[in-house]
C-alpha cells in the first residue's frame, strides 16, 4: 500500500472534498477561506469578486508571467457539487474516506474539485523547481456551475474583472475515461430545455372527446422520440461516433390532470435537448412549431433554456495553446483523443467571448461516476494528473 495518507497533495485534496459545497443554498465561505489559505501557501495573489451577488464569490489566484502584457491562461474549476442520497453511499459523501485501494470517496472527487486542486499542486511543483513563464496564469474557482452558472461564470465573463484578466486561453473540466486514453474536449453541445403547454378539450373521463391535450401530447411525444431514435440509430450504425457527435432528446417533466375522471384541459411537458455542433438550430425551432400545428394547435412553446450555438475551439497548428498542450502530452507518451463533450460546462461562456477553451480532466481507467452514488477517484490517478498538468502548464503558458 502506498503512503497516500501522508502525501501533502492527497491531504489537501481530501480537506477540500470535506467542505460540503452542495446544492441547494450553498454557503461558499468555507471554500473561500480554504482557497485563501492555499493562495498564501503558494505565494499567489488572490482577488475575490461577486458579479452574481454577495453569496456567489469568484476566487481568482494569479501567478504573474514575465510578459504580463501577453494574453493570459485561465485554469478554471467550480466549487459547487450536486446533491447526494447519503443512504445510497457506502462511505459518507463528505468525509473523503480512503480505502486500502486508495479510492477517495466523496462528492466532487471527479466533478470537479480534483481538477482545481491539481492545478494548485502542479503550480506548487513548478514553483519549487523555480519555473517561470511568459504568460500570466489565473486560477479561477467559480460558483454554481451545476445549476447553469447564471450567477457564476455566465455573468463573470461580462465584467471588467474578467476583461482585466486578458484571458487568451482557458482550461476547464472534462470527463473521466474508462479506457487508457485522455479525452480533450474542444466543443460542447448546445442545450435547450423545450417546454410545451398543450391545451385541449376537457370533460368527463367516460367520453371520447376529440382534440384532447393527451392526443396532442401523444403526437408531440412521438415526434420528439423520433429525434431520439435517430440519434440511437446513428450511434449503432457508426461505431466511430460518440455521444458528443449526436443530438440527444429526453422527456424530463410531465404535468397534467387533477382527478381520475376528469380529462385534463392542459398537459405540460418539458424535454431536455443537447444539440450536436452540426445541428441546424433555426430549422429545428421551425420544425417544433410545425409539429404543434400538426398535433392540432393551441400549443405554446417556451424555452426555459435556449443557448445559442457557440463555435468550437480550433485544434490545429493555428492554435498555439493546443500545440503546446498536445506536444506536452506527446512527450509524456499519453494516448489522447479529441471529442465533443456530451454535456455542457462553464467553457461555453468562455468560448462565447471568442476565447479558445478546452475541457480536460486527467482521469483514465476510471469509472465515470460524476453525479453518481459512491463517486470516487483513486489516489494514484489523482497524483498522475498533477504530473500531467505540471507538464502541460509550461506548454501553454509559454505558447
The domain defined by 190-306 folds into Alpha-Beta Plaits (3.30.70)
What distance in Å separates the CA atoms of residue 289 and residue 220, rounded to the nearest whole number?
10
| Catalytic residue set | 80, 145
| pTM for the structure as a whole | 0.91
Where along the chain do its domains lie? Answer: 4-173+361-397, 190-306
> In 10 A of CB 100, how many CB atoms?
7
User: Identical fold at 4-173+361-397 and 190-306?
Assistant: no
Rounded mean pLDDT for each run of 10 residues along the chain, 399 residues in total: 88 98 98 98 98 98 98 98 98 97 98 98 98 98 97 98 98 97 97 97 96 98 97 93 93 97 98 95 98 98 94 97 98 97 94 98 97 98 98 98
What distance in Å separates the CA atoms of residue 307 and residue 304, rounded to the nearest whole number?
10
Give the per-residue pLDDT at 170: 98
Q: What angle do CA 79, 116, 24 make, to 5 degrees?
A: 15
Give the per-residue pLDDT at 5: 87
User: Which neighbouring-strand residues pair with 254?
Assistant: 269
Report the CATH superfamily, name and number, of domain 4-173+361-397: Zn peptidases (3.40.630.10)
What distance in Å separates the CA atoms of residue 345 and residue 111, rounded to the nearest whole number?
11
Give the per-residue pLDDT at 2: 76
Give pairs for 268-271: CB < 8 Å, separation 24+: 268/195, 268/196, 268/197, 268/198, 269/195, 269/196, 269/198, 269/217, 269/220, 269/221, 270/193, 270/194, 270/195, 270/196, 270/304, 271/193, 271/194, 271/196, 271/224
Q: What cell numbers appear for 351 in the block?
A: 468560448
Number of alpha carbons in the 13 Å side-chain half-sphere of residue 56: 18
Amino acid at each position: 500500500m502506498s503512503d497516500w495518507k501522508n502525501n501533502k497533495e492527497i491531504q489537501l485534496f481530501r480537506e477540500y472534498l470535506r467542505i460540503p459545497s452542495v446544492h441547494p443554498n450553498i454557503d461558499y465561505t468555507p471554500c473561500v477561506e480554504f482557497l485563501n489559505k492555499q493562495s498564501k501557501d503558494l505565494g499567489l495573489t488572490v482577488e475575490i469578486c461577486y458579479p452574481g451577488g454577495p453569496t456567489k464569490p469568484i476566487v481568482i489566484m494569479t501567478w504573474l508571467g514575465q510578459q504580463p502584457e501577453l494574453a493570459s491562461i485561465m485554469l478554471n474549476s467550480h466549487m459547487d457539487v450536486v446533491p447526494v442520497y447519503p443512504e445510497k453511499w457506502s462511505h459518507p459523501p463528505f468525509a473523503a474516506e480512503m480505502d486500502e485501494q486508495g479510492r477517495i470517496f466523496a462528492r466532487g472527487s471527479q466533478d470537479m474539485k480534483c481538477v482545481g486542486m491539481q492545478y494548485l499542486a502542479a503550480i506548487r511543483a513548478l514553483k519549487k523547481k523555480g519555473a517561470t513563464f511568459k504568460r500570466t496564469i489565473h486560477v479561477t474557482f467559480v460558483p454554481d456551475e451545476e445549476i447553469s452558472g447564471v450567477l457564476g461564470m455566465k455573468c463573470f465573463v461580462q465584467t471588467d474583472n474578467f476583461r482585466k484578466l486578458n484571458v487568451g486561453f482557458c482550461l476547464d473540466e472534462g470527463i473521466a475515461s474508462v479506457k487508457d486514453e485522455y479525452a480533450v474536449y474542444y466543443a460542447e453541445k448546445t442545450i435547450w430545455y423545450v417546454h410545451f403547454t398543450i391545451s385541449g378539450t376537457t370533460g368527463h373521463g367516460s367520453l371520447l372527446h376529440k382534440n384532447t391535450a393527451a392526443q396532442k401530447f401523444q403526437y408531440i411525444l412521438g415526434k420528439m422520440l423520433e429525434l431520439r431514435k435517430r440519434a440511437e440509430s446513428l450511434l449503432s450504425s457508426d461505431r466511430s461516433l460518440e455521444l458528443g457527435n449526436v443530438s440527444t432528446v429526453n422527456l424530463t417533466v410531465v404535468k397534467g390532470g387533477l382527478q381520475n375522471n376528469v380529462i385534463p384541459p392542459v398537459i405540460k411537458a418539458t424535454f431536455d435537448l443537447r444539440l450536436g455542433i452540426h445541428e441546424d438550430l433555426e430549422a429545428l425551432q421551425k420544425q417544433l412549431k410545425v409539429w404543434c400545428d400538426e398535433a392540432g394547435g393551441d400549443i405554446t412553446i417556451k424555452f426555459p433554456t435556449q443557448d445559442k450555438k457557440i463555435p468550437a475551439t480550433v485544434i490545429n497548428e493555428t492554435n498555439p495553446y493546443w500545440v503546446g498542450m498536445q506536444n506536452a502530452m506527446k512527450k509524456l507518451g499519453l494516448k489522447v483523443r479529441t471529442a465533443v463533450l456530451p454535456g455542457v460546462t462553464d467553457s461555453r461562456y468562455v468560448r462565447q467571448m471568442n476565447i479558445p477553451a478546452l475541457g480536460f480532466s486527467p482521469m483514465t481507467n476510471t469509472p465515470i461516476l460524476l453525479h453518481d452514488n459512491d463517486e470516487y477517484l483513486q489516489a494514484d490517478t489523482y497524483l498522475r494528473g498533477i504530473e500531467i498538468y505540471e507538464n502541460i502548464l509550461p506548454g501553454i503558458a509559454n505558447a
